[in-house]
């Protein structure tokens, strides 16, 4: 086992696979288990780390003394050879040859072992600082809830996955993200509930007389411009409103304390294709907001935080909106317990090796 047991926590937001249920209960348990681990192992880890530091310091000091002893003797050997060549002139050439050879060897060793030399001079061990507990239990829990790379690849078209990736790398880890189906995305965080419908349309987008159109200009083999106009159905803004209404009905039916929650649902249509052209003058009568990925991220970043919209509350809402589903499910609460028992075993082994 390595000296550090922590999992790497990415600064990006948390992505959650749809198979997970009991998210809110699992999050509450993981917070409780973190406190329990600190009480059980916190002091033992600190003592073990202190003992380990003293062992490393003693070993380093011993190696350092040997190193400086060798450093002191190395030039003395060359001086002795030079003095010998002075008093024994008959064999001076041979002695000078050996003196030069020794000098070359020492220079070569110095260059080759510069990392070791630097460690002996400036590599004194330092005591571990910060939190004593070295298992990032919550980080492991979030990592376990994330969808696997293969599942992300199946999430939808390239542009839809690009919007997911853009969100993941643009927002901090106090946001939770879930994909319900290709082009149907849900985001929860300090600024409320965000629902997005991703439209992979290129060309000029128009809405007039209640009809959405996609106008694409191409060129034929002779270089002449060809204008292709497509009527798009169903309408993305109406689709978004329908999705929002489904969420409202689900929350009204299952959420115990829903006062003010329904007003937090925001979002709209995301035109994710980089070759799309949006002109407000040509989009009239839209019933939902729309924009490019970058504009939506900026809007989320500048949205004011909602008071009392805690992580537990967000996961409770996600539990309701996700539901058990028809596919295979897994309990985030049971996962928290499993990770806790694994962390217990790892910490016992870690402490045992520190004090051995």
DSSP string computed for 137-157: HHHHHHHHHSPPHHHHHTTS-
Average pLDDT over residues 334-338: 97
Whether 124 and 58 share a structural domain: yes
User: Do you find a cis peptide bond into 131, omega within 30 degrees of 0?
Assistant: no
Q: Is the pLDDT of residue 204 over 80?
A: yes
Mean pLDDT of all residues belonging to the chain: 80
Produce one character per residue of 288-301: b if its CB has 16 or more CB atoms within 10 Å, e if not: bebebbeebbebbe
Q: Say if 215 falls within a structural domain.
A: yes
The one-character DSSP state at 274 is: T
Count of domains forming the chain? 2
| Structure token pair of residue 102 | 């020794």
Look at residue 116 in the predicted model and tell me its pLDDT.
63
| Stated pTM of the model | 0.73
Q: Is the pLDDT of residue 97 over 60?
A: no
Whether 183 and 50 share a structural domain: no
Q: Is the pLDDT of residue 319 over 50?
A: yes
| Structure token pair of residue 326 | 């028809």
Q: Say if 83 falls within a structural domain.
A: yes
Look at residue 353 in the predicted model and tell me its pLDDT.
80
Whether 236 and 178 share a structural domain: yes
Q: Is the pLDDT of residue 248 over 60?
A: yes
Whether 167 and 282 share a structural domain: yes
Beta strand 176-181 with 184-189 is: antiparallel
Look at residue 293 in the predicted model and tell me its pLDDT.
93
Whether 189 and 88 share a structural domain: no
Q: Is the pLDDT of residue 132 over 60?
A: no
Q: Is the pLDDT of residue 130 over 80?
A: no
Lowest mean pLDDT among 5-14, 46-55, 89-98, 160-169: 5-14
The C-alpha atoms of residue 159 and residue 200 are separated, in whole angstroms, by 6
Range of the domain at 301: 147-332
Whether 173 and 29 share a structural domain: no
Whether 219 and 99 share a structural domain: no
Whether 210 and 311 share a structural domain: yes
Q: Say if 262 falls within a structural domain.
A: yes
Look at residue 8 in the predicted model and tell me its pLDDT.
36
Whether 92 and 38 share a structural domain: yes
Sign of CA dihedral 346, 352, 355, 356: negative
The C-alpha atoms of residue 5 and residue 321 are separated, in whole angstroms, by 35
Whether 221 and 328 share a structural domain: yes
Question: Which residue intervals of 88-196 are DSSP H helices?
Answer: 92-112, 114-122, 137-145, 149-153, 158-170
Q: Is the pLDDT of residue 144 over 90?
A: yes
Q: Say if 156 falls within a structural domain.
A: yes
Q: Say if 257 falls within a structural domain.
A: yes
The C-alpha atoms of residue 70 and residue 76 are separated, in whole angstroms, by 10
Q: Say if 142 falls within a structural domain.
A: no
Look at residue 80 in the predicted model and tell me its pLDDT.
64
Whether 327 and 350 share a structural domain: no
Place of tokens 């992580």: 311
Lowest mean pLDDT among 116-130, 135-149, 233-247, 323-337: 116-130
Whether 125 and 172 share a structural domain: no
């Amino acid at each position: 086992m390595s000296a550090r047991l922590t999992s790497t926590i990415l600064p990006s937001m948390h992505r959650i696979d749809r198979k997970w249920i009991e998210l809110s209960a699992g999050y509450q348990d993981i917070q409780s288990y973190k406190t329990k681990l600190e009480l059980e192992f916190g002091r033992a880890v600190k003592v073990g780390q202190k003992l380990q530091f003293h062992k490393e310091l003693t070993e380093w000091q011993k190696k350092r003394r040997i190193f400086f002893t060798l450093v002191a003797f190395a030039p003395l050997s060359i001086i002795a050879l030079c003095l010998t060549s002075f008093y024994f002139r008959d064999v001076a050439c041979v002695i000078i040859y050996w003196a030069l050879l020794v000098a070359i060897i020492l220079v070569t060793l110095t260059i080759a072992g510069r990392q070791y030399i630097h460690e002996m001079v400036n590599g004194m061990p330092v005591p571990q600082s910060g939190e004593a507990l070295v298992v990032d239990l919550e980080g492991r829990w979030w990592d376990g809830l994330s969808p696997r790379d293969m599942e992300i690849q199946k999430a939808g078209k390239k542009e839809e996955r690009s919007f997911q990736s853009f969100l993941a790398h643009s927002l901090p880890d106090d946001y939770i993200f879930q994909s319900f189906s290709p082009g149907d995305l849900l985001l929860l965080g300090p600024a409320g509930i965000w629902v997005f419908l991703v439209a992979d349309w290129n060309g000029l987008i128009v809405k007039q007389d209640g009809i959405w159109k996609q106008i694409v200009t191409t060129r034929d083999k002779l270089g002449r411009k060809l204008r292709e106009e497509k009527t798009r159905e169903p309408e993305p803004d109406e689709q978004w409103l329908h999705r929002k209404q489904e969420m409202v009905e689900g929350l009204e039916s299952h959420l115990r304390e829903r006062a003010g929650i329904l007003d937090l649902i925001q979002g709209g249509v995301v035109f994710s294709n980089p070759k799309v052209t949006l002109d407000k003058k040509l989009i009239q009568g839209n019933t939902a907001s729309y924009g490019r990925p970058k504009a939506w991220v900026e809007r989320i970043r500048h949205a004011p935080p909602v008071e009392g919209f805690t992580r537990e509350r967000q996961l409770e809402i996600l539990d309701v909106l996700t539901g058990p589903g028809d596919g295979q499910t897994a309990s985030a609460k049971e996962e928290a317990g499993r990770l806790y028992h694994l962390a217990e075993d790892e910490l016992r082994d870690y402490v045992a090796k520190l004090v051995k």
